[in-house]
Structure 1
Amino acid sequence: MQKKGRREQVLLERTVIYTSAVAMDEQALLGLNPNADASFRQRALAYFEELKISQDAWQGCAEALAKGLYSDDHVKFFCFQVLEHQIKFKYPELTAGQHQLVRETLMTWLQAQLISVQPEKTFIRNKAAQVFALVFITEYLTKWPKFFFDILSVAGLNPRGVDLYLRILMAIDAEVVDRDIVHSSEETRRNTLIKDTMREQCIPNLVESWYQILHTYQHSNSELTCQCLEVVGAFVSWIDLNLIANERFVNMLLSHMSVEVLREEACDCLLEIINKGMDPVDKTKLVESLCQVLQTAGFFNIEQEEDVDFLARFSKLVNGMGQSLVISWTKLVKLGDMKNAQETLQAIQAKVPLMLQLLVHEDDDISLNIIGFCYDYLHVLKQLSVLTDQQKTNVEAIMLAVMKKLTYDDEYNFENEGEDEAMFVEYRKQLKLLLDRIAQVSPELLLEAVCRVFNATVQNWQSLPFMEVEVAIRLLYMLGEALPSTHGAHFSGDVTKATALQEMMRLLVNSGVSEYQHTSVTLEFFETVVRYDKYFIVEPQHIPNVLMAFLDHRGLRHTSPKVRSRTSYLFSRFVKSLHKFMNAYIEDILNRLQDLLELSPPENGLPALLTRDDQLFIFEAAGVLIVNSEYPAERKQALMRNLLAPLMDNFKILLNKLLGEQDEERQATLADCLNHAVGFASRTSKAFSNKQTVRQCGCSEVYLDCLRTFLPALSCHLQKEVLRSGIRTFLHRMIICLEEEVLPFIPTASEHMLKDCEAKDLQEFIPLINQITAKFKTQVSPFLQQIFMPLVQAIFEMLSRPAEENDQTAAMDKQMLRRSYFAFLQTVAGSGMNEVIGNQGVENIERIVFTIIQGAVDFPDPIAQKTCFIILSKLVELWGGKDGLVGFADFTYKHIVPACFMAPLKPTFDLSDAQTVLALSECAVTLKTIHLKRGPECIQYLQQEYLPSLQVAPEIIQEFCQALQQPDSKVFKNYLKVFFQRAKV
């Protein structure tokens, strides 16, 4: 009677719940249709939000699912989404009756699927499976221990039931097992407990259900069979392997390997079994038994298999088996179990012929999937003291396979590289790793093989297809990294010691292969001569031939823009490396480059051979040749003027055009051209060094002329951002390269740059002033005193401008400007020019120092705070002593000391943040500096006035002052961190 009464009560509860469920908003549901108009879609969205926050309105969705009230797929999906939200975020708030309702809703819906006319769409089944999984992880350990038995009892072997059961298992795997999903420590504990409980209570039953499904549907329903194989593969990593790796299961999986529609999934499932962590001896036995069966069944006869998709999966399986054996071997060697290690090594060796077949397969995906095993096998060989003849043969076979697979195929599109081409480039990178590993196992073998292939190919390049020629040169190029000593040690001036590499380079540059009419060969030629630049130091007689290749139709004047662009960069590198050997050809080179260095004005309509970015490299190369030549200073100056005069002339013409131009698009084009002219001049200056300064080369006047030419553009109101940016960069270069002759240009430039500027302009201008200050120090003191307050006021005005509350860009610009301002003050104070600030008048000094204190305390920006404390300690050092600035000692006690306490006490001052700790470290330095300058007076002030005002306990005050007086500043820094950590608890 009791049981009957309880059941009636539950039914009554459920009836009450369903009847009290809020009716669905039919109008809102119309908006779920993808073709509905925007207003309906908006209403549906609002309705979803309403159901999410409602305590019981979701029950309408539960009722709709349980009773099948709607046939529209989008409405059903919507109902599951509402349910999903309740379970994810509101489940603890629901009553026991509502929990019961969720469970019964899902089971009722599941039962209905078995008898419905049409199966649900896949996206609905997947969403339902997710909801089941969410209920499972919430209730399995407490209220629903028979979760799987209940589902299995409903699903049975009904195909629709099985489909949903398998989808639910995969959804549970995603929630509980999937390692790609990051879980909190609490979720991880819960997931571990769920797996432990499942192992105890139901895993054998689940495994049995999988066997029955596979057995029942293997011939009649490939989709369900594949789903089931996926489930087995997912679960095998954490369940007892003996439940799966047994005769009946493995035999069934192997039988699936012979069924076309099942074998790819069967392959993946076997791979998951192989990948399961286990004892190395047991793993070897498992792999070997599986291999034996596969071999007997004929799966190792690769050449007879035409299905490349299956072979790609099979290749992964073989790769997994090989890598598992290598892991077992490594573990056994570490354990000192040499007997089993030797047996495992023999097992690895036995897989090599199959591995090689897959590696050389014409399909790159199949080859790529086996590379991991190849790499690990070579790693094993590297650790063996002596290689057998067979192992040496294997190494050679891998190497020949790599050489073959590096080759481009006919379909590779060099002019318009797409996804296929990108995949081949990545594949080549993996092959290169194999080549590097071969070099570690047997460098002599690699060098000999490359030499053989290279010589045979390059000697007959005219009669061979491009892909063979390209790969031969590519192999020579790859030796540079595979054999690290190649760059220097392999090139010797002694003819008797000429190496194989030296001979290959000689053949490369003398063979005429640079004339080959294919971009891939041309590029490989230039890449290789630049990689082996050290060769030309030994045999400089070949430099003219290579220079000509760079300068003519093979390089900078090639028909392909791609070749011209890459060659520009490589030419620059070649010149930088070997300019000492080019003195005899400098003027010839410069003459040949002349037309490439022209600043092509936008109106001539002719496409330039080189892009502006490519031209930068050529200008730099020209600069390097001139500066490092053996010419006297007058000749260097003449050559540099010849190089830069056309830029200056063009600049003046284009600037005049810009000033009179009305069309905005045309203005932008002209400004861009002007900017590049400045950029080209900047780039030539990179050639100078401490050994070859601008002054020593007699080029100062040329660059001063550039300054005179470029600076007037700062007063141009059109496109000012672009123009200022380029000229600012040029000024940075000139401050580095020129001496005090640059100084007269700075005031005018500064005046223009500070006109009509934005926060970003100011922020980018300040580093220029910092650079001048740091380099010229007292020489620029008068200029700094003059510009100091206008610059500071411009910054204050910019920082005080109101901005939109949510304007993140404006907020970031202000933060960066504030940092730049403090960096400026730090540079001035740190360059020993305290008079620059000291001569600004009492009112201005006070205002500036207040901004520093504000920066240290009020803004939650640890980078700026650190800078502010550095400035404060510097000012205390300069002005805080007995003979310092009048009134500064008073100011120190009233404002600087409190700042050192107020800043770290702020809630935003995060002592677990590395930048903030650096700011605190500078705060400690400031307090140490105050103590150093004021002595016992400082201690007395802290003991008797300031710290008591903060209600600090007397014993802590004593402790603080003792730490401050320690001679080792590190002791006080550490103490201060602890002091504020305690204060903030």
Structure 2
Amino acid sequence: MACQSVSIIDMDEQALLGLNPNADACYRQRAIAYFEQLKESHDAWEVCAEALAKSVYSDDHVKFFCFQVLEHQIKYRHGSLNAAQQQLIRETLMKWLQCQLMNTQAEKPFIRNKAAQVFALTFVMEYLTHWPKFFFDILSLVGLNPHGVDIYLRTLMAIDAEVVDRDIVHTAEEVRRNTLIKDNMREHVIPSLVESWYQILGAYQQSHPEITCQCLEVVGAYVSWIDLNLIANDRFVNLLLSQMCVEDLREEACDCLFEIVNKGMDPTDKTKLIESLCQVLQSAGFFNVEQEEDVDFLAKFSRLVNGMGQSLVLSWTKLAKSGDVKVAAETLRALEAKVPLLIKLLVHEDDDISANIVGFCYDYLHVLKQGSEWQSKMLQVGRGEQEAVEEYWESDKLPLLTDQQKANVEAIMLAVMKKLTYDDEYNFDNEGEDEAMFVEYRKQLKMLLDRLAQVSPELLLEAVRRVFSSTMQTWQTASFMEVEVAIRLLYMLGEALPASHGAHFSGDTAKTSTLQDMMRTLVSCGVSSYQHTSVVLEFFETVVRYDKFFLVEPQHIPNVLMAFLDHRGLRHSSPKVRSRVAYLFSRFVKTLHKHMNAFIEDILTRIQDLLELVPPENGVPALLTSDDQLFVFETAGVLVVNGEGPAERKQALMRSLLMPLTDAFRLLLAKLATEREEERQAVLADCLSHAVGFASRTSKAFSNKQTVKHCGCTEVYRDCLQTFLPALSCPVQRGALRSAVRSFLHRMIICLEEEVLPFIPAASEHMLKDCEPKDLQEFIPLISQITAKFKSQVSPFLQQVFMPLVLAIFEVLGRPAEDNDQAAALEKQMLRRSYFTFIQTIASSGMNEVMASQGVENIERVLFTIIQGAVDFPDPIAQKTCFIILSKLVELWGAKDGMVGFPDFIYKHIVPACFLAPLKPTFDLTDAQTVLTLSECALTLKMIHHKRGHEFIQYLQTEYLPSLQVSPEITQELCQVLQQPDVKVLKNYIKAFFQQAKL
């Protein structure tokens, strides 16, 4: 129906039935349509305003609906409402509020929240113009009526969200408006609002704690931008402190005090405020946290103490930098006085309480790092020598601690060590949200440990040594938590301590470090046999972190190797341990392979079963996943390649390592060719891919010194290639097999060098057969790698494969696709980019004969695709590549004695491309990638001038630029810039030229 001016009786009662969550779908659809109708009408929404003002409906969903309609009018159509309609909204809200005062039962919270949003939106729109008495009207109406006060406080929070909340993104105009609103409120209404808050807090403390809590939330929200003196005064703070003693209010009172403490203010005043708060809190017994059983309150209190502590640190920092010695010293004393409370909260058994104080603890340690030396420096230089103060501030000296500060540091260390410990409830087998939170909390504690090391490395080292040594002496009877944290602390020292303070190992036994002693204990005391995964994992992590220890004490390597290889490591009962140890073992061997020559055959024998390719029909669960096996194969490769024996030994070991893979590969490939069941085919292909991947991974062991050739392993890898290449012609599961073999070829190009070349033609022929876009896209980098590495050596092959590859690409790009098929469009875009990159590689490798030998018709076809890529496709990455190619081709063929017919191509196609591409609407000159494309376009013009000289300038002046209606003055200017030697000037000019041309 058409929406006209209606009265209350015209409300669509049938549509309103659809507002009930349990209504039928047809009713719900009708309700949605009715909502849209009321929203878009010029005046039909007034029916909702009337319904709210007269409390016509008792159904909560209808009332909410009416507020939604009103909200839409205010939010999106306020400017188009006439004065009478704006007045109607104000009257509606006040009448609805008046009704709330008379109701015995309060509205549902969701209705009150929506009403508050509508009040806040109206305030934002009208406070500065039509409704300056907004707050006074509401306050005079609600008085101390609890229902009215509730709406008033919710409205204040909604206004905070609209005007103050920094998490909400505002337009520049909204920011300007919000600033004016806050300025006006500060000047005219904030004192009255603060007085209302004081009255509410006092009146409802006993009777309506929920309203008091709301009011405390409002005070906390507003205190950040109003005059703090209105809140931070004796009567208000005393009221807040008194509510800290009321069980239903103290958490919100804590939050409110936290916001007050966090308010930016003069450092001296801030210190005085915090000190007065602390005196009252301490005398009220809040510092006796051991006696408090309410952990939720203590978490809030810990956050408050954290805020007070960090504020004191900030005040001290400002005062210290300003050179005010006396006041800075007073602030430092105030700060030190809070440390006992800090430690109590830090060591509390509840991690939330402890985590909330970490920030203050971290900042306090930073003060210790700079504080005591700062004080002595200040006394020497005097207050006036600001430069000397700043010079000290930038220095990074270790502090000279007082006895009390040393005691504080030691207490914090003990607290951190205690809190790092797992509790009994930690679920290692099924880690959930609680476990994830503890892991994050441990990261915070690690930050504290690092800072402790900066303050006093000697104290930290000694504390860890004490805990570690006593635990390792009794590890057989100690709980896993104690043993794990003792090893964990040793592990953490590696990052925490600088090398100059013991985190290194010396070959001089007279000077062995504390760290070296602890490592010796770790690897010799037998703790690697502890029956808990967390301890075993920590053992191996620590062994690998301090692998340099074994360079100075290699006698411990055999014992640790056995731990890696037996039931403690790679054969542990836990898959999690086995998986991690597979990785750690590879790192251990990479560092220490020079000390393992005598054990190579033994290690390879012991891990032989872990190197087996587990066939899918085996049915026996493998000890390691295929990803874990990759690390084991790499480790085996490192051992073989870096052994001290002759090349013959290395060749024999590598063959024995890889031959089981190739044998299994042949059998599985034969099975795959005859397998008809698709699921089974996928399993076999997966297994074949793993075999290729494992062989590929062993090649990572070779280096510039230890090459495949030098190690006598060329023939071994050639045999692997011959075994794997037939998989390329397998009629099923082509994607997985081609991907695996292609990756192996990439590795062999690096490792086998020219020995790989005989395999490339056949491999390429197979990979170009029945190509999908993804196949081609992945094949091109392989050809590009061969081109870039071997250059002229592969020129005959490239001349042969060039057009088949190009035609395969053209065929795939030419396939029709659905207009809305974004995946297909993206695949084509990526293939197009790969194609252009391939052409660029050939052009840049000095092999112009590859393209030149393709015949005129084919060359033209390729050249036109490059022009098309430069101009027609809105892809700046591909366009940039195309201009690089064009520039290179001009350099190769553009001279007077260059390729026949190419100068004509320059003038007919390349020059127009340089101007038409940037003039396209899709060529966005504000986009960084497009600007890079324009730079390459400019370089192409420069190259044409370099090769064709005055002929090119004359062509621009007399033919091309006039055809674009470029004025003679601009034409002359452009030609002059082109002839200048400075390319940067040309790039800047070209950008300005096209910016002007596109206006």
Superposition TM-score tier, normalisation by shorter sequence: over 0.9
Amino acid of the residue matched to residue 224 of structure 1?
I
Amino acid of the residue matched to residue 65 of structure 2?
F
1:515 has 2:502 as partner? no
Which residue, 942, 954, 963 being the options, matches 2:968?
954
**Secondary structure of residue in 2 paired with 1:533:** coil
CA distance 1:703–1:362, shift in 2 (3 Å): same
Between stretches 323-332 and 21-30, larger displacement belongs to 21-30
Q: Deviations over 1:808-845 (max 9, x none)?
A: 21221111111111101101111111111112221221
Which residue, 601, 620, 626 being the options, matches 1:612?
626
1:419 has 2:433 as partner? yes
Q: Which residue of 2 aligns with 1:186?
A: 173
Q: Deviations over 1:879-937 (max 9, x none)?
A: 10010111111110111011111112222222222211111111111111101101111
Per the TM alignment, residue 388 of structure 1 is displaced from its structure 2 partner at its CA by 1.4
Amino acid of the residue matched to residue 693 of structure 1?
T
Distance in 1 (CA, whole Å) between partners of 2:361 and 2:4 is: 64
CA distance 1:709–1:447, shift in 2 (3 Å): same
Between stretches 100-109 and 768-777, larger displacement belongs to 100-109
Distance in 1 (CA, whole Å) between partners of 2:44 and 2:210 is: 38
**Secondary structure of residue in 2 paired with 1:463:** coil
Amino acid of the residue matched to residue 607 of structure 2?
L
Between stretches 584-593 and 153-162, larger displacement belongs to 153-162
Give 1:828-977 correspondences, 5 Å limit.
Answer: 828-977=842-991
1:794 has 2:804 as partner? no
Which residue, 288, 296, 302 being the options, matches 1:309?
296
1:679 has 2:693 as partner? yes
Amino acid of the residue matched to residue 284 of structure 2?
A
1:38 has 2:38 as partner? no
Q: Which residue of 1 aligns with 2:779?
A: 765
Distance in 2 (CA, whole Å) between partners of 1:288 and 1:154 is: 40
Amino acid of the residue matched to residue 715 of structure 1?
S
Distance in 2 (CA, whole Å) between partners of 1:866 and 1:488 is: 53
Which residue, 693, 716, 740 being the options, matches 2:730?
716
Q: Which residue of 2 aligns with 1:823?
A: 837
Q: How many residues align?
A: 970
Distance in 2 (CA, whole Å) between partners of 1:825 and 1:722 is: 27
Q: Which residue of 2 aligns with 1:526?
A: 540
1:292 has 2:279 as partner? yes
Q: Which residue of 2 aligns with 1:814?
A: 828
Q: Which residue of 2 aligns with 1:492?
A: 506
Q: Please, what TM-score do these two structures have when normalized by structure 2?
A: 0.95
Which residue, 269, 281, 285 being the options, matches 2:268?
281
Q: Is the 8 A contact 2:458 2:501 kept in 1?
A: no
Per the TM alignment, residue 114 of structure 1 is displaced from its structure 2 partner at its CA by 2.2
Distance in 1 (CA, whole Å) between partners of 2:667 and 2:94 is: 82
Q: Which residue of 1 aligns with 2:313?
A: 326
Distance in 2 (CA, whole Å) between partners of 1:668 and 1:43 is: 51
Q: Deviations over 1:324-344 (max 9, x none)?
A: 000001011111111111110
CA distance 1:514–1:68, shift in 2 (3 Å): same
CA distance 1:760–1:67, shift in 2 (3 Å): farther
Per the TM alignment, residue 73 of structure 1 is displaced from its structure 2 partner at its CA by 2.2
Q: Deviations over 1:927-975 (max 9, x none)?
A: 1110110111111111222122222222222221221111222222222
Per the TM alignment, residue 477 of structure 1 is displaced from its structure 2 partner at its CA by 0.5
Which residue, 404, 412, 419 being the options, matches 2:418?
404
1:160 has 2:174 as partner? no
Distance in 2 (CA, whole Å) between partners of 1:22 and 1:658 is: 77
Per the TM alignment, residue 155 of structure 1 is displaced from its structure 2 partner at its CA by 2.0
Q: Which residue of 2 aligns with 1:381?
A: 368
Amino acid of the residue matched to residue 520 of structure 2?
R
Per the TM alignment, residue 20 of structure 1 is displaced from its structure 2 partner at its CA by 5.5
Distance in 1 (CA, whole Å) between partners of 2:46 and 2:597 is: 88
Give 1:229-308 correspondences, 5 Å limit.
Answer: 229-308=216-295
Amino acid of the residue matched to residue 471 of structure 1?
V
Amino acid of the residue matched to residue 474 of structure 1?
R
Distance in 1 (CA, whole Å) between partners of 2:830 and 2:9 is: 54
Amino acid of the residue matched to residue 683 of structure 2?
T
Q: Which residue of 2 aligns with 1:11?
A: none
**Secondary structure of residue in 1 paired with 2:620:** coil
Q: Deviations over 1:706-731 (max 9, x none)?
A: 22222222222322222222121111
Per the TM alignment, residue 599 of structure 1 is displaced from its structure 2 partner at its CA by 1.2
1:665 has 2:679 as partner? yes
Distance in 1 (CA, whole Å) between partners of 2:43 and 2:581 is: 71
CA distance 1:121–1:855, shift in 2 (3 Å): same
Q: Which residue of 2 aligns with 1:540?
A: 554
1:552 has 2:566 as partner? yes
Q: Which residue of 1 aligns with 2:792?
A: 778
Amino acid of the residue matched to residue 142 of structure 2?
A
Distance in 2 (CA, whole Å) between partners of 1:487 and 1:528 is: 18
**Secondary structure of residue in 2 paired with 1:461:** coil
Distance in 2 (CA, whole Å) between partners of 1:804 and 1:26 is: 46
Per the TM alignment, residue 22 of structure 1 is displaced from its structure 2 partner at its CA by 9.4
Q: Which residue of 1 aligns with 2:717?
A: 703
Q: Is the 8 A contact 1:268 1:313 kept in 2?
A: yes
Q: Which residue of 1 aligns with 2:382?
A: none
Q: Is the 8 A contact 2:502 2:515 kept in 1?
A: no
Q: Which residue of 2 aligns with 1:171?
A: 158
Q: Deviations over 1:26-71 (max 9, x none)?
A: 3333333222343433343343334333333333332332233333
Q: Which residue of 2 aligns with 1:138?
A: 125
Q: Deviations over 1:437-458 (max 9, x none)?
A: 0111111111111111111111
Distance in 1 (CA, whole Å) between partners of 2:328 and 2:50 is: 63
The answer for unaligned runs of 5 or more in structure 2 is: 374-399
Distance in 2 (CA, whole Å) between partners of 1:641 and 1:885 is: 51
Distance in 1 (CA, whole Å) between partners of 2:960 and 2:76 is: 51
Give 1:4-19 correspondences, 5 Å limit.
Answer: 19=6
**Secondary structure of residue in 2 paired with 1:652:** helix
Distance in 1 (CA, whole Å) between partners of 2:145 and 2:515 is: 70
Amino acid of the residue matched to residue 288 of structure 1?
E
Amino acid of the residue matched to residue 552 of structure 2?
V
Per the TM alignment, residue 154 of structure 1 is displaced from its structure 2 partner at its CA by 2.5
Q: Which residue of 2 aligns with 1:9?
A: none
CA distance 1:49–1:812, shift in 2 (3 Å): farther
Q: CA RMSD in A?
A: 1.7
Amino acid of the residue matched to residue 449 of structure 2?
L
Q: Please, what TM-score do these two structures have when normalized by structure 1?
A: 0.96
**Secondary structure of residue in 1 paired with 2:548:** helix
Distance in 1 (CA, whole Å) between partners of 2:163 and 2:707 is: 67
Per the TM alignment, residue 141 of structure 1 is displaced from its structure 2 partner at its CA by 0.7
Between stretches 806-815 and 224-233, larger displacement belongs to 806-815
Q: Deviations over 1:378-397 (max 9, x none)?
A: 10111131321111111111
Q: Which residue of 1 aligns with 2:100?
A: 113
1:336 has 2:316 as partner? no
Distance in 1 (CA, whole Å) between partners of 2:664 and 2:91 is: 83
Distance in 2 (CA, whole Å) between partners of 1:690 and 1:61 is: 81
CA distance 1:737–1:515, shift in 2 (3 Å): same
**Secondary structure of residue in 1 paired with 2:338:** helix
The answer for unaligned runs of 5 or more in structure 1 is: 1-15
Q: Deviations over 1:719-769 (max 9, x none)?
A: 222222212111111111112221222222222222222222211111111
Amino acid of the residue matched to residue 539 of structure 1?
E
Per the TM alignment, residue 785 of structure 1 is displaced from its structure 2 partner at its CA by 1.7
Per the TM alignment, residue 17 of structure 1 is displaced from its structure 2 partner at its CA by 9.3
Distance in 2 (CA, whole Å) between partners of 1:748 and 1:66 is: 85
Q: Which residue of 1 aligns with 2:481?
A: 467
CA distance 1:42–1:600, shift in 2 (3 Å): farther
Per the TM alignment, residue 98 of structure 1 is displaced from its structure 2 partner at its CA by 1.8
Q: Is the 8 A contact 1:18 1:63 kept in 2?
A: no
